[in-house]
Amino acid sequence: MRTKFKLHHSNDPINQDLPESEKLLISYEVTGRRYGLYSLGDLLCSTYPFDETGIPNMKGDLAERIARRVMKRFLQRFDQNRGRIGGLFDKSFDPKNRENYVVANTKRYVLKIGRYPNMILLKKTGQGKWGYQHVTDLDGLFDFRYLSKRHLIILESKTGKIDVQAESLYETLFVPLRKLFPEAIFSYVVFADRRHLMDIRYPEYRILQDAAVRIYEALAYHGIASFFFEFQENDSDFMQMCRHLINAYRTYHHERVSFQGSVSVTDSHIAIFEPGNRRPYLELARDPSTGMFRVLRSVRSF
């Protein structure tokens, strides 16, 4: 599948009519369809630092985002007359309040949304604050209906070595998932750099390296199919995207704005008043998840 990424700035034409948080910093095209890959809102809500120390986390995050978009496009184009994506969430799902949404549960296991669209698999142990133990995170989960059967596709992305523990993968991940979705057919998809996926000594034969072979053999024994995709982006491409995000973060945090009037400031709230007016014309509140202030009320345009 043909893919390419494009870097953007907040004042680019593509962002002209978008709300501030939705302005694109990176877009990604897969076989003629363009997706937003990383927005200004993503930048402000991310938990990793935007400097040299945060580059491994940035690369991992970007790899997950790319893998999800490529997989989505692949499924959209696969036998379009008989296959469709969808059905993972029921009617109670609210996209605006999706964090910690429980996708499926049994007496022993819970699958819920962490930082959307990543998911968290929990096991009931009776230990800890809520009695559940973290089992693993899922980079992506696709619900694909094909020929009246439900296929659940588990996505894993790696920018470095494929360090998946193949020997315990079935027991750790698929035993719980089969309890949660007993009617589903499961597949496991790994996205990785070609250097860690294929034997580079014989590129013309596309021979899998040992780590990928171990995954295939371990899951095939239990009737689970494995698929391996290589990123079209090399390490230089990922570094270019990371540098762009670092520069965008620095630019955003160096912007300044001036206001006139009296100011009331606390750790979580800022209010600005015109002289002689007891009601503020601008109020901001700190977002506890990002530490950034957002506008609560404004009676002016700036």
The model's pLDDT over 111-129, given as tens digits with 9 standing for 90+, comes to 999 888 899 999 999 887 7
Same domain flag for 243 and 264: no
The residue that leads in pLDDT, 302 or 242, is: 242
Question: What is the DSSP-derived secondary structure letter of residue 99?
Answer: T
Considering the domain architecture, whether residues 44 and 178 belong to the same structural domain is answered as yes
Q: Residue 61 sits in which domain range?
A: 3-251
Tens digit of each residue's pLDDT (9 = 90 or more) over 154-212: 999 999 999 999 999 999 999 999 999 999 999 999 999 999 999 988 888 889 999 99
SS3 content of the chain, % helix, strand, coil (to 5): 30, 30, 35
**Same domain for 129 and 236:** yes
pLDDT band at 215 (very low <50, low <70, confident <90, very high): very high
- Segment 227-234 mean pLDDT: 96
User: Which residue among 227, 251, 275 closes a domain?
Assistant: 251
Which pair of tokens denotes residue 138?
A: 């899922």
Q: 277 and 222, same structural domain?
A: no
Task: Identify the CA nearest to 237 among candidates 59, 31, 71.
Answer: 59
Whether residues 209 and 276 fall in one domain: no
Shared domain check, 263 and 145: no
3-state SS of 10-71 is CCCHHHCCCCHHHCEEEEEEECCEEEEEEEHHHHHHCCCCCCHHHHHHHHHHHHHHHHHHHH
- The proportion of the chain whose per-residue pLDDT surpasses 70, expressed as a percent, equals 95
Angle between helices 235-254 and 55-77 (to 10 degrees): 110
Q: Which of 218, 234, 251 is the last residue of a domain?
A: 251
Residues 41 and 180 in one domain: yes
* Whether residue 190 is found in the same domain as residue 169: yes
Number of domains forming the structure of the chain = 2
Are 277 and 143 within one domain? Answer: no
Give the DSSP letter string of 211-242: HHHHHHHHHHTTT-EEEEEE-SS-HHHHHHHH
Instruction: Give the per-residue pLDDT at 302.
Output: 43
pLDDT tens per residue, range 21-37:
899 999 999 999 999 99
Pair type for strands 293-298 and 282-286? antiparallel
Q: Does the pLDDT at position 61 exceed 90?
A: yes
Residue tagged 């619900």 (tokens): 143
Threshold 0.85, pTM exceeds:
no
